[in-house]
Structure 1
Amino acid sequence: MTADVARRSSIATRETVVLVTALGGIYIVSQFLRNSVGVIAPNLASELGLSAKEVGLLASVFFFAFAAAQIPLGVALDRYGPRRCMLVCAGVAIAGTLMFAFATSPFWLIAARVLMGIGSSCYLMAPLALYARRYPPDSFATMVGLQMGLGTLGTLLATAPFAFAVDLVGWRVSYVVVAALVLLAAFAVAVVVRDDKSDRGVAHETLRASLRGTLEAVRVPSFWPVFALQLASYSSFVVVVGLWGGPYLTHIYGYSLTERGNMLFVAVVAQIIGSFLWGPSDRLFNSYKVPVLTGQLLTATALGLAALVGVLPKAALVLWFVAIGLFPAVVTVLIAHGKSLFPTQLVGRGMTLMNIGTMGGVFVSQTVTGFIIDLFPIVNGGYALNAYRAVFGFQAVFILLMCLIYLFSRDPRRNPRDWG
């Protein structure tokens, strides 16, 4: 390697580190927003008199709004580029976060979560669209792992650190601080991410043609089998860590705010580690489907175990939360599988359509499980053990059904001719 080549390589490496840090930073904040209800769910229910259905709706409406934004977001990513999309969404996220901080009724809490969902809707897809156009296909799954691994720090902050902050200054002041952090992260994106012509593959395409491209993306072979598993993949993590894990620990094990925050912290650390471990596994196995199915079936097994046993010994409980973080992190490879199906000009729209499955699946899981829990009577001021067992069993069956559909997808890693 000549000195000039080494210098250019060093500069490219530094630019990548700075870029990933900035994009990961704003994704951290959006991840916090989507998962922060889990720790304070018992507090919100007590303070505002929310039922289980309302708690489930409060958590899930974020993901409904997030999913609903994906089609216009996909068009915008391909027409205007990731940078503009991220800056506009930051303004919406800040407004939603401040509204949540000052909300005094379930209506305003839910409205705020809608704005948070819309505002956070681009902070995975916009970076991934950027990576897809600036980096070679072989490194994409690794870039996804880096982005999701860094972003999961936001989920980590929504556990023990958030519980500590709520105990110290309350949840309302905590959200005001988060709004300020969104502003700071958006400033970093504005400075670091520069517009590049390659980031806007269809900048001169008409709106009608852009929407037609969305329909083309849906018709790509294997779109629906991969989309089906997207419904169950990420939702398996969020339905526990982002919603019912906190109440489960409080009602069944008697954990305090700090204790449940610490246990959820364990699951998030496991997911961060899992994101980095699963990221390059598609290259290791020369397959997307092998690691994806392995991770999903292990997740279903963990959830099925909790559904059957109900109450786990304390040591086993820790390992269970590790499993709930580690195994669903294979979603990084599933995202890469989805991206591999689309030609370059449809990458933005294709990935955002896939993300409708990811976030729409969370909305379905959290909403349905809220109704499931309300089917059971309250026991000693908390939700019944059998209610939680039903929730875990529902999610395990959901995963298995979607895995059956996913089996019919094509695997571009096994057959290079299948690359989009």
Structure 2
Amino acid sequence: MLAGCFLLGFFHRFAPATSAEALSADLDAGGTALGALASWHFWMYTAAQIPAGMLVDRYGTRWCVTVGSLVTAAGSFVLAGAESLAMASAGPLLTGAGLSVVFVGIMKYNAAWFRPERYGLVTGITMLLATCGAIVAGSPTAWLLEHFTWRQIFSVAAMVGLVLSVAVAVVVRNRPAWATAEPTAHRGSSWGGLRTALRSRELWPLLLATLGTNGTFYAFAGLWGVPLLTETRGLSNTVAAAYTTGALAVYGVGCLVIGVWSDRVGRRKPFLLGTSSIAALGWVGLAALPWEAGWQGLGLYALVGAAASQVTISFAALKESVPAEIAATALAVLNAGVFAASAALQPLFGLVIDSGADWGWALALMAGVSAAGVASVCFARETWCAPLPAIPTEPTAEVSP
């Protein structure tokens, strides 16, 4: 049930790319306006990430995800009925707020129900299942747009969200029956954990690396991947959507494969460096090479999709680089930073296009961000897949020899 809610959230994140042409015509939105519309989801998701973590810590996964799914469904209903660009903007705002709680809730659920040494595997499976929603937002949605309006599609998605929210309330439990209850945190501990996370030198190299892989890919696949092909290569919306669908499929499978592979090898940094380098190569290829639609284009889209699977390793490495007491907060900060970058890149990309510049200049923006990500990996710490020890809650008495 939780994976279903996460899957639906990924659908809302990437559906604007496939629906861009219909949204633009119906709402009279240019490239910059369309980029801003799609970015509201990312901005709200980013802003709500840390408060969502505090809510889940206080009230648990079950009821927080139930409410989050209801908010996501409300956003889908609002977007489906919007008659203006201003009204439509409320839809992505609500879906971003709802999905932020869903993400934190499912990560907390995984920590409660699965063993720590399986973190890479479980995170990979979670991301693979969620990516199925992004895949549905690609070619299947493009095919549906040939038979139904975008408003009908988003209305159906809203109804599915309502059903899932009820299912979560009925089925999900916060922790196994045999697990001990979590201690109640002191009021100031959440903000103290946030300050500690922000001061951690381990956070920032991982954040920059993930911006170069996932921040760029989410912005591109979420909006500009399809218009690039329809406007510069003359492909139909349905055929162009197959490219982003393929990239998202590679991303989803890669999240699982890289998580299992890294757990078995017992290393994180080589995978961070490899995926960051692949992202840079993919964006430089899209920006500068004279590629054609077909296998060349599919290959480049697949490269940036494969690089984005780094997120599994980034989450694992950060969890192992900070004390367990602030791991959830640190993960929220990392995730928020990635989506803030995506929210900024979408309208910036559209601004470059609206200025009359070649699409290659907009793609060069992505290449520059990914190059910075490659450089940042040099400052990341190898964790050897081993978590740090917990912070002692009381001073340890000295023992005389």
TM-score where L is the length of structure 1:
0.87
2:399 counterpart residue number: none
Does residue 265 of structure 1 match 2:245?
A: yes
Cα distance in 1 between the residues matched to 2:181 and 2:167? 21
Deviations 1:87-123 (A, max 9, x none): 1111211111100000011101112111111011122
SS of alignment partner, residue 271 of structure 2: helix
Q: Which amino acid aligns with 2:342?
A: V
1:279 counterpart residue number: 259
2:378 counterpart residue number: 407
Q: Which amino acid aligns with 2:306?
A: L
Does residue 194 of structure 1 match 2:173?
A: yes
2:398 counterpart residue number: none
Deviations 1:300-329 (A, max 9, x none): 101101111254252211222222322211
1:82-121 equivalences in 2 (<5 Å) = 82-121=61-100
Cα distance in 2 between the residues matched to 1:417 and 1:325? 28
Cα distance in 2 between the residues matched to 1:411 and 1:322? 27
1:5-404 equivalences in 2 (<5 Å) = 22-196=1-175, 201-202=182-183, 204-376=184-356, 386=358, 388-404=359-375
Deviation at 1:124, TM superposition (A): 2.5
2:397 counterpart residue number: none
Higher deviation after alignment, 152-161 or 290-299: 290-299
Cα distance in 1 between the residues matched to 2:352 and 2:180? 44
Cα distance in 2 between the residues matched to 1:270 and 1:307? 21
1:18 counterpart residue number: none
Cα distance in 2 between the residues matched to 1:335 and 1:251? 36
Deviation at 1:417, TM superposition (A): 7.4
Cα distance in 2 between the residues matched to 1:350 and 1:331? 14
Q: Which amino acid aligns with 1:342?
A: V
**Residues 1:405 and 1:347: Cα distance change in structure 2 (over 3 Å):** same
Q: Is the 8 A contact 2:214 2:310 kept in 1?
A: no
Q: Which amino acid aligns with 2:375?
A: L
**Residues 1:178 and 1:199: Cα distance change in structure 2 (over 3 Å):** farther
1:11 counterpart residue number: none
SS of alignment partner, residue 146 of structure 2: helix
Matched-pair identity in %? 25
Q: Is the 8 A contact 2:6 2:102 kept in 1?
A: yes
Instruction: Give the RMSD, CA atoms, in angstroms.
Output: 2.0
Deviation at 1:188, TM superposition (A): 2.8
Cα distance in 1 between the residues matched to 2:334 and 2:351? 26
Unaligned residue ranges in structure 2 (runs of 5+): 391-401
Cα distance in 2 between the residues matched to 1:410 and 1:399? 19
Q: Is the 8 A contact 2:17 2:224 kept in 1?
A: yes
Q: Which amino acid aligns with 2:283?
A: L
Deviation at 1:294, TM superposition (A): 0.3
Q: Is the 8 A contact 1:86 1:123 kept in 2?
A: yes
Q: Which amino acid aligns with 2:273?
A: L
**Residues 1:68 and 1:160: Cα distance change in structure 2 (over 3 Å):** same
Residues paired across the two proteins, number:
388
Deviation at 1:84, TM superposition (A): 2.1
**Residues 1:163 and 1:407: Cα distance change in structure 2 (over 3 Å):** same
Cα distance in 1 between the residues matched to 2:201 and 2:388? 9
Q: Is the 8 A contact 1:142 1:279 kept in 2?
A: yes
**Residues 1:199 and 1:142: Cα distance change in structure 2 (over 3 Å):** farther
SS of alignment partner, residue 383 of structure 2: coil
Deviations 1:338-367 (A, max 9, x none): 222333332332221111112112112212
TM-score where L is the length of structure 2:
0.91
Deviation at 1:34, TM superposition (A): 0.7
**Residues 1:296 and 1:159: Cα distance change in structure 2 (over 3 Å):** same
Deviation at 1:199, TM superposition (A): 9.2
**Residues 1:157 and 1:175: Cα distance change in structure 2 (over 3 Å):** same
Deviations 1:121-178 (A, max 9, x none): 1222221122223322221011110000010000000011111222211000111100
Q: Is the 8 A contact 1:281 1:291 kept in 2?
A: no
Cα distance in 1 between the residues matched to 2:8 and 2:324? 29
Q: Is the 8 A contact 2:205 2:376 kept in 1?
A: yes
Q: Is the 8 A contact 2:321 2:387 kept in 1?
A: no
Deviation at 1:24, TM superposition (A): 1.6
